[in-house]
Amino acid sequence: MNAHKKALAADRAMTAVFYGVAGFFLLLLAAFTLYVLARGTAEFEPSLFAFNDNGIGNQFFNTVYLVFLSLLISVPIGVAAGVYMAEYARKGRVTEFIRTCIETLSSLPSIVVGLFGSLVLVEMAHFKWNLLAGALAVSILSLPLITTTAEDAMRALPARWKEGSFALGATHRQTITKVLLPACVPRIITGVILAAGRGFGEAAALLYTAGMSTDINWHSWNLASPTCPLNPIRPGETLALHIWASRTEAVAPNAAQIADLSSAVLIVMVLLFSIGARFLARRASRRFGKC
């Protein structure tokens, strides 16, 4: 009886500790977010959102477009790699070597990936700094996260789901595409959100690949034009780079104000993206659940 009381007391104590740690991090996140938003909106002016050299509209578009390009590259490859590791790869030295490579790739400093992208994706490809090179660099950083998330999601599913699909006469490919992957959508979306968050805030890798300049003509929609907004082979400064430049190199009198506003916009952007992705994941989960 005494042992039971001691175990119960220890359980309550540890529960209180974990709740306290979680509450501390929530308060820290809330304080940080409120501080950045307060600084960003303290001297807010609508003209700062202009899509010209005096505003951050072009940097905002570059950030969204670059993250979109990086997810377009990394999500299919990462999910496919996760499916392979969970369903097709046999246990052995080769599989362990691949998993080690994935773990090593996830720990690479972003500055090293940026230098690699500058050498391979910019200089060897005979391009100047461009958004596509930046998206590929961010994809290199995102691939391990999406691959690991997809693999863990596949392995966490109950074995009876796959066995039930096989019992109904489905092939392995049909089981993966019609049963397992739809069930993994919420967890895969979590990996995509984390990968997108890294893309939104990445600066070091983009410094050597995407460039620090932006020249957009919003009346030109010819993809071959170097000033077309949708041309991926053009330099594009993102909000993260703009914040860094405004705090270190800018000589404009309102540089600090622009940096604070860019930080607030970046936080709101990540928050809205996370909420939107969660909403789509829930809708997809309900839709596949009814099929």
* Per-residue DSSP letter, 234: S
What's the average pLDDT block by block, 10 residues per block, for the chain (291 residues)? 76 89 91 87 79 85 93 93 89 86 85 89 83 92 92 89 87 89 86 87 88 86 88 90 82 79 88 82 66 43
| Distances in whole angstroms, Cα of residue 54 to Cα of each of 111, 170, 257 | 29, 59, 12
Q: How far apart are CA 16 and CA 257, in angstroms?
A: 41
Q: How far apart are CA 25 and CA 29, in angstroms?
A: 6
Q: What is the pLDDT, as a whole number, of residue 291?
A: 43
Torsion of CA 181, 187, 189, 190, to 10 degrees: -160
Q: What is the pLDDT, as a whole number, of residue 282?
A: 77
Q: Which residues contact 177 (CB under 8 A, 6 or more apart)?
A: none
Q: What is the pLDDT, as a whole number, of residue 290?
A: 46
Q: What is the pLDDT, as a whole number, of residue 287?
A: 64
